[in-house]
Amino acid sequence: MTSATSHAPISPEQITQLTDSRQWAQPTPAPISSARFKQSVVDFQVDELLDIELSGAGEHLWLLIKKSGMNTSFVADQLAKWAKIPGRDVGYSGLKDRQAVTTQWFSLRIPKGELPELSFDEFITANLNSETESVQVLKQDWHSKKLNRGTHKANKFVIRLTDIELNPKVAATTAEADEVLTLISKAGVPNYFGEQRFGRQGNNIVSALEWFEQGTINGRKPHPKKSRDLQSLLLSSARSAIFNQIVSARVEQDNWDKALEGDVFNLNGSGSVFTVEQLDQEIQQRLDSGDIHPTAPLWGIKNDKVSGAAKALEQQVVAQYPVLQRLAQGLEKKELKTMRRATRLPVSDLSWTWPDEQSLLLQFTLPTGTFATSVLANLVTDLIQ
């Protein structure tokens, strides 16, 4: 794998180091050596939590849809075909996995309020390809506004792990594994971006470097409009790789959930960030209670909020990895403004049961934009899909 001719080739080992979750530091050793994940769609369930009161009137039909074996984009396309409207008039808040059972809201702009005689359930059933694919409309109502990306605040997960092998050095029994789960429920986990952000074998990072340094993606110059989604994905992947390595360094230094001098803090449950002139007991108490979290950068220009020891750590991590240096330079050339993301991920309403010693059923809620695999990485060393 290579990027620009003016740079050294990128080795598979360099990409793996940045994109394999087993390479990222965790606060405690995982109590489970290996487990199987997503062996069937019912092993991974996600319910979108959307706190909006629908008005019952307007030109947007909102549908709560339960689906399995298909991703969000496919269902959105089918909704557009069913209602005979442009794809841009179908709205949804977040992307949900194909290999899962999920519930999420969609909105359809139908100005005249005239619906097809055939229900959506009946329409899409004719287009399903396998027994694992299913769609069901659970609720529907009219509203005055389109559903936009990022509207929902959280996702509720129900995850089943099977063929579990405990790590005897950490947890010889399920009761000892329970201790780690209890710690996660209280302390949260490092807020890593999941491996899926980087594509197969980390190819998004390779493509991002090619785009930054050569102006091409997979050997072709990207179309300014048609490739917007791909370009956005590559920018996000580059930022995620840098963010994860900074968080990993803070985990190794045991300050991912503690304050460093010069830190930028995030108010829990919001996008609000702030700095303080001096670290004091009040800040420490707010950190301990989970009211605020330290942050790391989503890299770009104007990274001027962070200072002191926190800034030095961020710069040191980027300088340590040649690939990160190149990604950072590329992001700066694209003139993206630096944003901040919490280094700690609270895990709400965590509960679990052991149907037997080789299977574990987990339930928990996470804020939108975070990854269930970040929770699983604290539990399982080798997660087999």
Instruction: Give the active site residues.
Output: 97
Helices (H), 90-155: 120-125
Number of Cβ within 10 Å of residue 224's Cβ equals 8
Strands 60-68 and 134-143: antiparallel
Q: Is the dihedral of CA 170, 173, 178, 179 positive or negative?
A: negative
Q: Is residue 12 exposed (0-12), middle (13-18) or buried (19+ Cβ within 10 Å)?
A: exposed
Nearest by Cα to 297 from 251, 252, 349, 342:
342
Distance CA 385, CA 382 (A): 10
Q: Which residues contact residue 175 at a Cβ distance below 8 angstroms, ignoring those fewer than 6 apart? A: none
Look at strands 32-37 and 380-384 and give their pairing.
Answer: parallel
At CA 291, angle to CA 285 and CA 297, rounded to 5?
105
Name beta bridge partners: 47: 103, 156
- The answer to whether 233 and 198 have CB atoms below 8 angstroms apart is no
- Do residues 271 and 339 make contact, with C-beta atoms less than 8 angstroms apart? no
Between the alpha carbon of residue 251 and those of residues 18, 151, 198, 298, 319, the distances in Å are 15, 31, 21, 18, 18
CB atoms within 10 A of CB 356: 9
Give the contacts of 50 (CB within 8 A, at least 6 positions apart).
93, 105, 151, 152, 153
Query: CA-CA distance, 101 to 115, in Å (whole number)?
Result: 26
